[in-house]
Amino acid sequence: MFKVLVSDPISDLGIQQLVDAEDIIVDKKPGLSEDELVAIIGEYDALLVRSQTRVTARIMEAGKLLKVVGRAGVGVDNIDLDAATQRGIIVINAPDGNTITTCEHTFAMMMAVARHIPQAYMKTVNGVWDRKSFLGVELRNKVLGVLGMGRIGSEVAKRAKAFGMDILGYDPFMTEERAEKLGIKLASVEEIVRNADFMTVHTPLTPETHHMIGKDQFAVMKPGMRIVNCARGGIIDEIALVEAIDKGIVAGAAFDVFEVEPPAKDHPFLKHPKIIVTPHLGASTVEAQENVAIDVSEQVLHILRDEPFSNAVNMPPIPAGLQSKLQPYFILGEKLGSFISQMTDGAVQEIVVGYSGDLAEVDTQPLTRYVVKGILSHHLGTEQVNVVNSMHLAKERDVNIVVQKSHIAKDFTNLVTVSLRTKKEERTVAGTLLTGYGPRIVQIDNFPVDVTPEGNLILISHNDKPGIIGRVGTLLGTNDVNIATMQVGRQLEGGSAIMVLRVDKGTPKEVLEQLTNLTELNTAKEIKI
């Protein structure tokens, strides 16, 4: 007999298959505190949550029998994935069940902000018949900018076409071919900000998307824009948005999500006449709640019964023999993936992973998953991508993955080479494990280097001319960026060259821009590992 605890309000119909199962006992106890959960979780094999329960490391630790945590929804930001992985607890989610519902909520919000529905409602029910203050705008013939063209963003784009809107879409994984199929135009964030009448965000919250719409974007924004966020709080800088509305740049905003939820009582959105809000209701329909609960219950049943399952968002078990052989390479593979995705521009089309030397002899599939995880995590967020789903996510985005093996590894016993082909360019890094020293990057494009992939790095491509290293050092020094180590690689004297600097802290954007403007310097990119 297995025991399942449901600790958030989850659709009864959705979990009916668990209730009906002869080998399962279901207890519904919504609203427990962390301490209360810690006290009882020890007797349960599975925990089912929505977004309210924070499944912390303490709860996992106390869950001695816990095999699976099921999230009825997409985001797993309320679950400590590392703690789950460490304890061998499988975390699953239901990524598809609430797509349409959230897309429809986005439209409800877009139309409400276009026609001032909540504001007009408030006045009318308070006895004021005001037909002058609420002149709206049509959606027809307007430009809609969609940031994040995944499941929800793509559905929004499809429906916006029916409203007669022109759609500009931005997503690092969007290719011209897919954009053409969807009938949208690919654009950069800046093009969207400068040209859209409405803008809606549908990305995960990652270090890259955090405040992706902030002061700089509002400064160049098309006046009169209306903005919708039904994705995650923090993608749009809340304070900068209020300023932009007060300056007359933004005409109105509709938010379902907040940087801190629930927002404080004095949050500037809550009394602003041009901002409408809902309390994270994007996924709250009967249909979506049933869908996600059915999906997640089905997978929980499979896991408890030791049957094949899908939608795991953390680490799968790897056979013991292979685990010990490959384990040290997992870190190298993921770091190479992260490094190359940060140094390469454009939508990813192909990943080529080469294994040379001893590695050519073993089943490297788990290692490839780590490389792909490192690449995709940069764009999709570490919370969403893991070694279970990385290949699936790449396939979903039409990214071709090629694996090549060779018994010869030139100067190294083992070498992992990763090439990334995008619409714009093709780049390569190679790395090895040095006994006693750990992972090393030994090649960047055609340049031999010796770089420990760790911390804050700056990758510079320049022309090999006297004085350039000094100029870079002086510029960083004057901006209080301390260089810890430096590596320079070139092929020919006076030809193109690269520099890899390790610095003590993150490099501000302006400093990177100033670096790029130095004579004989082509590009300067920050890489964080």
Answer yes or no: are the C-beta atoms of 336 and 429 closer than 8 Å.
Answer: yes
CA distance 130 to 123: 7
Q: Tell me whether residue 334 is one of the annotated catalytic residues.
A: no
- Asked whether the bond before 204 is cis by omega within 30 degrees of 0, the reply is no
* Residue of 232, 379, 462, 502 with catalytic role: 232
Toward ligand 2HG, which CB reaches closer, 192 or 313? 313
CB-wise, 379 or 440, nearer to ligand 2HG?
379
CB of 377 to ligand NAD, least distance (A): 10
232 among known catalytic residues: yes
Q: Does 263 bind ligand NAD (CB under 6 A)?
A: no
Instruction: Based on the shown chain and the rule CB under 6 A, indicate whether residue 98 belongs to the binding site for ligand NAD.
Output: yes
Residues near 86 by Cβ (< 8 Å), separated by ≥ 6?
A: none
Nearer CB in complex with ligand 2HG: 29/423: 29
Q: In 34-95, where does DSSP find H-type helix?
A: 34-40, 57-62, 81-86
489 contacts ligand 2HG (rule: CB under 6 A): no
Contact by Cβ (8 Å): 338, 529: yes
Binding mask 31-70 for ligand NAD (x = CB under 6 A): ----------------------------------------
Residue from 225, 283, 301, 451 touching ligand 2HG (CB under 6 A): that is 283
Which span (69-77, 147-155, 436-444, 491-499) binds ligand 2HG, by CB under 6 A?
69-77
Containing 144, the helix (H) or strand (E) segment is strand 143-147
**Catalytic residue at 261?**
yes
Please state, in angstroms and rounded to a whole number, the distance separating the CA atoms of residues 343 and 492. Answer: 22
Q: Can residue 231 be called a binding residue for ligand NAD (CB under 6 A)? A: yes
**Is the CB of residue 70 less than 8 Å from the CB of residue 64?**
no
From the list ligand NAD, ligand 2HG, none, partner contacted by residue 309 (C-beta under 5 to 8 A by kind)? none
Q: Does 73 bind ligand 2HG (CB under 6 A)?
A: yes
- Residue tagged 């490099």 (tokens): 507
Site string for ligand 2HG, 39-68 (x = CB under 6 A): -----------xx-----------------
Q: Is 36 helix (H, G, I), strand (E, B) or coil?
A: helix
With tokens 């919250």, the residue in question is: 205
Q: With contact defined as beta carbons under 8 Å apart, do 481 and 505 qualify?
A: yes
Residue 102 lies near ligand NAD (rule: CB under 6 A): yes
Residue with tokens 């022109």: 166
Beta-strand pair 90-93/143-147: unpaired
Q: Provide the token pair at 381.
A: 């967020």
Question: Residues in the site for ligand NAD, rule: CB under 6 A?
Answer: 74-75, 95, 98-99, 102, 147-153, 170-173, 202-204, 206, 208-209, 212, 230-232, 256-257, 280, 282-283, 379-380
Active site residues per annotation: 232, 261, 280
